Chain A
Amino acid sequence: EAQVTQNPRYLITVTGKKLTVTCSQNMNHEYMSWYRQDPGLGLRQIYYSMNVEVTDKGDVPEGYKVSRKEKRNFPLILESPSPNQTSLYFCASSSGPNSNQPQHFGDGTRLSIL
């Protein structure tokens, strides 16, 4: 089954404690991205990756890092989380950034930073 898998689904942690949210897709997609969803703001892109070893900033990259060492994986790293990063996070993938390609989304990771 084609899917994007994120882990963990839920995490409560404290300010400053490094955390990683993993994302894996099994569709051989080249394009992957991370979004955060906040009430009234819709989804905002954090980082994206056009292919292995190619990453770039989205609209709200501050406080986040990503890596793309393998095609299927695109982890999101919060090196020193702060309460304003409390949010619902989604990983997505598609066959390319072409405008007519829909993105496939994971089920989301709810992060609470205390």
Chain B
Amino acid sequence: GNSVTQMEGPVTLSEEAFLTINCTYTATGYPSLFWYVQYPGEGLQLLLKATKADDKGSNKGFEATYRKETTSFHLEKGSVQVSDSAVYFCALNDYKLSFGAGTTVTVRA
């Protein structure tokens, strides 16, 4: 079956630091890949997506590239802010959403 593995947290960074959250997947078909973000007390919001190999999703300074050869979709941001503190979920959708366990990111001023 399909599955998603993402790096365990928590991750603590200083403002303006570089953030990478690793995500790898296993899928039998050709899924779309997503990153969702969950701010404290809120539901999940779509951060970015990529629907086919080599696509790059980007939003709010975050980027992730769909790498079929390494079955990966790592999330990156070059300079984080305190407001980026949240839980980040990698997910794949092959007619059913499968989520990673989530990575808690805390950015300190």
List residues of A whose CB falls within 8 A of some B CB.
Answer: 4, 33, 35, 40-45, 48, 58, 90, 92, 97-103, 105-108
Query: Could you say which of A42, A48, A98, A107 contacts B42, with CB atoms under 8 Å apart?
Result: A107
List residues of B whose CB falls within 8 A of some A CB.
Answer: 4, 29-32, 34, 36, 41-46, 49, 51, 89, 93-97, 99-102
Cβ B93 vs Cβ A100 within 8 A: yes
- Given A90-B43, A105-B43, A108-B42, 13 more A-B residue pairs with CB atoms under 8 Å apart are A40-B101, A42-B4, A42-B89, A42-B102, A43-B44, A43-B99, A92-B44, A97-B95, A99-B32, A101-B93, A103-B46, A105-B36, A107-B41
Query: Could you say which of A40, A43, A99 contacts B51, with CB atoms under 8 Å apart?
Result: A99
Residues of A near B93 (CB, < 8 A) are 99-101
Cβ B49 vs Cβ A100 within 8 A: yes
**CB proximity of B39 to chain A, nearest CB, Å:** 10
Known A99-B32, A108-B42, A108-B43; judge A42-B100 contact (CB<8 A). yes
